[in-house]
Amino acid sequence: MRQTKPLDRQISSGNVFADLGLADAEEHLVKSSLVLKIGRIIEQRGLTQTAAAKAMGIDQPKVSAMLAGQFRGYSVERLMRFLVALGQDVEIVVKPSKRGTAELRVA
């Protein structure tokens, strides 16, 4: 029987973008969380990408690209505006950190 070498593993920081060494990793994580919410809302409401695009004021290929992970060209603010256009309230809460290190996150 062939013996395999154990894989090297590294514990994640909780931010895959930081783990990959990307600049602005925290912003990428927030954007990806917002895009994930947009995708879930589109799915839950049974919207086509065309209907979602119309609601958000963009075209369908841009919705498709965004949901496929191509969202670098969108600001956090614009992604939040897409959520509002899809009928969601967006609330920004600023509070002292309980963990010692402040962070950005999407709940």
pLDDT for 34: 97
Please say if the pLDDT value at position 2 is more than 80. no
Domain boundaries, the chain: 29-85
User: pTM for the complete prediction?
Assistant: 0.83
Please identify which residue in the block is written with the tokens 């609330």: 91
The residues near 86 (Cβ < 8 Å, ≥ 6 apart) are: 38, 41, 42, 45, 52, 55, 56
The CATH fold assigned to 29-85 is 434 Repressor (Amino-terminal Domain) (1.10.260)
Q: Please report which confidence band the pLDDT of residue 1 belongs to, taking 50, 70 and 90 as the band edges.
A: low
pLDDT for 97: 87
Tell me: the pLDDT tens digits for 43-85? 999 999 999 999 999 999 999 999 999 998 999 999 999 999 9
